[in-house]
Amino acid sequence: MIPVHPAQNDTTQPPYRAKIGENESMVKFSKLMTVSLALLLVVGMMAGCQRKKPLDTFTNLDDQSGLGSERTTGDGLPGMDLESLLFEPGSKYGLQTVYFDYNSDALRGDAMDTLRSNAEKIKQVPGVVIQIAGHCDERGTQEYNMALGERRALAVRQYLIQLGVSGDRIVTISYGKEFPAAVGSNEAAWSKNRRAEFNRAR
């Protein structure tokens, strides 16, 4: 009689089947990741195409009619109209102060350069009325400085008119030495106080 031995378990088959299962899972996961990355890439490209370049407020403006509308600016001041930007402290679009020599209402070279830039900004905002305020340093009497401040404001107004700004849009006022920009009894302070500033006319 031929002896019958009990069937032995094939210990290699289960690990082999487990290996096949792992490979199938990895393939499915890899396909899923590939599809997901492709979708993200497509969405990113569509969003990039729709993104618009911010509008630089004082350049490439074809329509000046919407002065009261909100605009996005290139210097981080979104939602402000052009007229407000003219008087926004620290804005590169704002009207810049001009300075004078001691006891003088003559426009210096740097003041003329500043006024040429200011004139172009004013022209881009039709309808706004500008107030030019003349100031002086602390030396001299109040009466003398009031008259000197007025002459400085008028000199600025006249130059802006020569540059093409309508005189109807410019008013002047003198504050003499009443409102110094810098406090001190030295040239460093005085040079900052001999000035003409631009404000919105009330």
pLDDT in tens, 89-132: 777 889 999 999 999 999 999 999 999 999 999 999 988 999 99
In the structure, what pLDDT confidence band is assigned to residue 34 with cuts at 50, 70 and 90?
Answer: confident
Tokens 């006024």, residue located: 115
Report the C-alpha gap between 112 and 166 in whole angstroms: 17
pLDDT given for residue 87 in this prediction: 84
Whether the model pTM is above 0.85: no
Locate all alpha helices (DSSP H) within the chain, ordered by sequence.
Answer: 13-50, 82-86, 109-123, 142-162, 187-193
pLDDT given for residue 29 in this prediction: 66
* Domains in the chain with CATH codes: 82-201 (3.30.1330.60)
pLDDT over threshold 70, residue 175: yes
Q: What are phi and psi of 130, to 5 degrees?
A: -100, 140
Spatial contact of 94 and 88, defined as CB atoms under 8 Å apart: yes
pLDDT over threshold 60, residue 61: no
Report the C-alpha gap between 9 and 16 in whole angstroms: 14
pLDDT over threshold 70, residue 79: no
pLDDT given for residue 82 in this prediction: 74
**Amino acid identity, residue 55?**
L
- Which of 12-21, 68-77, 137-146, 172-181 is the least confident region? 68-77
pLDDT given for residue 97 in this prediction: 96
- Going across the sheet that includes 195-200, the strands are 98-99, 195-200, 130-135, 170-176
- The mean pLDDT of 30-57, rounded to a whole number, is 60
